[in-house]
Amino acid sequence: MLISPAYAQAGGGGVGLFEGLLPLIIIFVVFYVLLIRPQQRKAKQHRELVASVRRGDVIVTGGGVVGKVTKVGETDDITVEIAEGVRVQVVKGTLSDVRSKTEPVKGGAPAAGGAQSGGSPLGGLLGSLGFGRKRGE
């Protein structure tokens, strides 16, 4: 035989409860760190983005329609001008991006211009990195 009689009689040694659950715990921790937590952060950022939309912001809807916010309703809807004289109502939850934010005026009312802080026409990440600025700014 290949197995010695003394080892065969010992019963092979059982696995304890902790050793059996340890791989499952490790898998759950990896899933939490790599999948669940980043999704929660992304959802929180989207809620903050939707809550901070003001009149004059240039937004992108989930369907890819780009427009300028003309009115923010009391409920969860906003009015967006998608072409000259064409206005549509959009649910705030369907916004996917805010391309350029307006700066608040000292009185708390939104500014009339649609430029992002820093004066970059590109907005977003490229604008914050300094791309798109004119020389001498």
Please say whether the beta carbons of 70 and 80 come within 8 A. yes
| pLDDT surpasses 50 at 21 | yes
Tell me the average pLDDT across 63-75: 91
Residue 36 counted as domain residue: no
Q: Is the pLDDT of residue 92 over 50?
A: yes
Query: What would the pLDDT profile of 110-122 be if each residue is shown by its tens digit?
Result: 544 444 444 444 4
Q: What is the pLDDT of residue 74?
A: 84
Q: What is the mean pLDDT of residues 31-50?
A: 93
* Mean pLDDT within 75-92: 93
Q: Which range of residues forms the domain containing residue 105?
A: 52-129
The torsion region of residue 86 among left (phi > 0), alpha (psi -120 to 50) and beta comes to beta
Is 17 or 10 the better-scoring residue by pLDDT? Answer: 17
Q: Based on the structure, what is the number of domains in the chain? A: 1
Q: Has residue 11 been placed in a domain?
A: no
Domain membership flag for residue 45: no
